[in-house]
């Protein structure tokens, strides 16, 4: 299992382009987060439709990262497509609900909503989600800028995508 967690290459610094490159970047970042013990991860996207959250490998990497003291936050405009397209992730989310905070931001339209993965150590941001192009790296200024963006989203968001739904 440890060999699976080792990324073939380090998480890239700089520009990326294409859906495959984006998906691999998410997987590489999760492997690095587990290896280096990143304590906090944030995923942000209008709906996560084209994120690799349905893949077994992604969930194995998230599970390897999910140890005591970890914090995982997600921001979206809606989570319907996560439930519909990423059933494995929805199940994983129920299991690890104690470390995951999912927030919904209804005040921002999907066109202007950021698509990014952030940690205090590294970040990836899609500047054009349609073409899956963007930048990644650990530039301190970019990390601070994205953190400020996430703080603003947190203030205008509310809890969403509960781990379980109670019904009568």
Read off the pTM.
0.88
> What are 44's two structure tokens?
């942000």
**pLDDT tens for residues 61-83?**
999 999 778 999 999 999 998 98
Give 26-38 pLDDT, tens digit per residue.
999 999 999 999 9
Pick from 145, 58, 39, 41: nearest CA to 101? 41
Residue 134 forms beta bridges with which residues? Answer: 16, 126
Quick check: is 92 in a domain? yes
Which domain, by its residues, includes 71? 13-159
Residue 3 lies in a domain: no
Q: Report the C-alpha gap between 168 and 166 in whole angstroms.
A: 7
Number of domains in the chain: 1
CA distance 69 to 39: 7
């Amino acid at each position: 299992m440890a060999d699976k967690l080792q990324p073939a290459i380090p998480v890239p610094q700089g520009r990326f382009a294409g859906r495959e490159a984006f998906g691999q970047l998410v997987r590489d970042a999760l492997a690095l987060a587990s290896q280096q013990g990143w304590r906090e991860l944030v995923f942000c996207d209008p709906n996560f439709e084209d994120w690799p959250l349905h893949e077994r490998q992604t969930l194995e990497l998230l599970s390897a990262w999910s140890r005591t003291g970890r914090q995982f936050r997600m921001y979206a405009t809606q989570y319907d497509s996560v439930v519909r397209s990423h059933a494995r992730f929805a199940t994983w989310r129920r299991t690890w609900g104690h470390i995951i905070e999912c927030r919904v931001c209804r005040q921002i339209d999907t066109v202007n909503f950021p698509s990014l993965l952030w940690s205090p150590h590294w970040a990836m941001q899609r500047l054009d989600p349609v073409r899956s192009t963007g930048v990644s790296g650990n530039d301190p200024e970019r990390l601070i800028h994205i953190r400020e963006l996430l703080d603003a989203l947190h203030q205008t968001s509310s809890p969403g995508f509960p781990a379980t739904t109670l019904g009568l």
